Structure 1
């Protein structure tokens, strides 16, 4: 392999496809292999195999079905996130805003997609998640939190004896609250009269200080800690 080919392969986003239906996996593979910056590094038909392959194949992004024999996609996501912190999971679901998609986000997934997603939306979501963004907007995440709020601790209940956001500056706390409301970077910039680049910097610091994977989990964190009031 030439140096140029090696460099090109290194830039590709490595994807693992997990679904118990072979035809579904084939369909996703065909879409992804048509993209020069995406590389399918494996397939799995159940959660146990997915967990093992996530460690062996070191994918950047995992497309994860929920309902599978044996270990389901939610528990597989939980194990993968714990074992491979750099891997990002996108839950594949049949119904929008259902409890399986919500369970996947709670387990550590960075978003969810409907199984009948358009090819362009699928590839866009994979690229976004690989870049550290979420594959679902803050507003959708918030809507799910409100819909399934009975699955969460009461808003404002402490997660620890000390204030969990004590590590944030006052401005970062405001940014976190705005994220919890489902606002985009542009909307946060307008609210606080900041540039979007400044907001992006603040968001990055909030995620780093709180050990959150992405905006989806920042929304969940804000909700759980009573920082979602409008």
Structure 2
């Protein structure tokens, strides 16, 4: 399975990668940090089995970006993963041809099941958005949702734990983290345990997903 992940927040992309690897161990992933990079990846005529797209990235407006990506890859299932969990955006992106709209605050198991459904040819919009009134497009773009999510994690983790968290997101083993940070493996294990406890995560994968804004209490 070949997947394009387009999101301007690197930690979130790493969380997506871990989740996709649990769905398909042989997944091949291409990453883009903005709409320009996403369009370049698609202009190469590469065929992706799935495209995961954030709404707010540099280069294009939210809905305009979805339309453009849809035009470049009409045959690839397009899924919007966004912190803008509003019925307005869900409706507009689905009208543009998206196969799914998933809030980043969704539980990882919900996201995984939604992606499996979409890969099987279905579509997905959370029932919670179907039953809520739309508030329309957000006018305040002075601050990106990913920045708030990242700072929320920084508030519960120490600077050293954040260092460990970044390496966890890259898929490093305890030994790899220890070597990179000049720590013993025992110390790394202590930091990892503290991270899991602070984020109320069951395992390393869920910790990265929570840190990247894909989980909520």
Q: What TM-score range do you get, normalising by the shorter chain?
A: 0.5 to 0.7
The DSSP-based 3-state class of the residue aligned with 1:117 is coil
Conserved? CA contact 2:86–2:135, under 8 Å: no
Report whether the alignment pairs 1:88 with 2:77. yes
What is the count of residue pairs matched by the alignment? Answer: 135
2:212 matched residue in structure 1: none
C-alpha change, 1:24 and 1:117, in structure 2 (3 Å) is same
| TM norm structure 1 | 0.50
Which residue of 89, 96, 106 maps to 1:100?
89
C-alpha change, 1:66 and 1:77, in structure 2 (3 Å) is same
Cα distance in 1, alignment partners of residues 43 and 26 from structure 2: 19
The DSSP-based 3-state class of the residue aligned with 1:116 is coil
Conserved? CA contact 1:62–1:87, under 8 Å: yes
2:58 matched residue in structure 1: 69
Q: Specify every segment of 5 or more residues in structure 1 that has no aligned partner in the other structure, as ranges.
A: 1-12, 150-230
The DSSP-based 3-state class of the residue aligned with 1:63 is strand
The DSSP-based 3-state class of the residue aligned with 2:115 is helix
The DSSP-based 3-state class of the residue aligned with 1:132 is coil
Q: Specify every segment of 5 or more residues in structure 2 that has no aligned partner in the other structure, as ranges.
A: 137-217
Conserved? CA contact 2:3–2:29, under 8 Å: yes
| TM norm structure 2 | 0.53
How far off its partner does 1:51 sit?
Answer: 2.2
Match runs of 1:62-211 below 5 Å? 62-136=51-125, 143=131, 147=134
Report whether the alignment pairs 1:59 with 2:52. no
The DSSP-based 3-state class of the residue aligned with 2:47 is coil
Conserved? CA contact 2:17–2:29, under 8 Å: no
Report whether the alignment pairs 1:35 with 2:47. no
The DSSP-based 3-state class of the residue aligned with 1:113 is strand
Deviations along 1:61-117, one digit per CA (max 9) or x if unpaired, are 111101111124432321222232211111112243343333322222112111132
Deviations along 1:95-145, one digit per CA (max 9) or x if unpaired, are 4334333332222211211113222222222221122210226x677657x
Which residue of 33, 58, 65 maps to 1:45?
33
Report whether the alignment pairs 1:19 with 2:30. no
Conserved? CA contact 1:60–1:87, under 8 Å: yes
Cα distance in 2, alignment partners of residues 91 and 36 from structure 1: 20
Conserved? CA contact 2:80–2:93, under 8 Å: yes
Q: CA RMSD in A?
A: 2.7
Cα distance in 2, alignment partners of residues 116 and 38 from structure 1: 26
Higher relative contact order structure (alpha carbons within 8 Å, sequence separation ≥ 6): 2
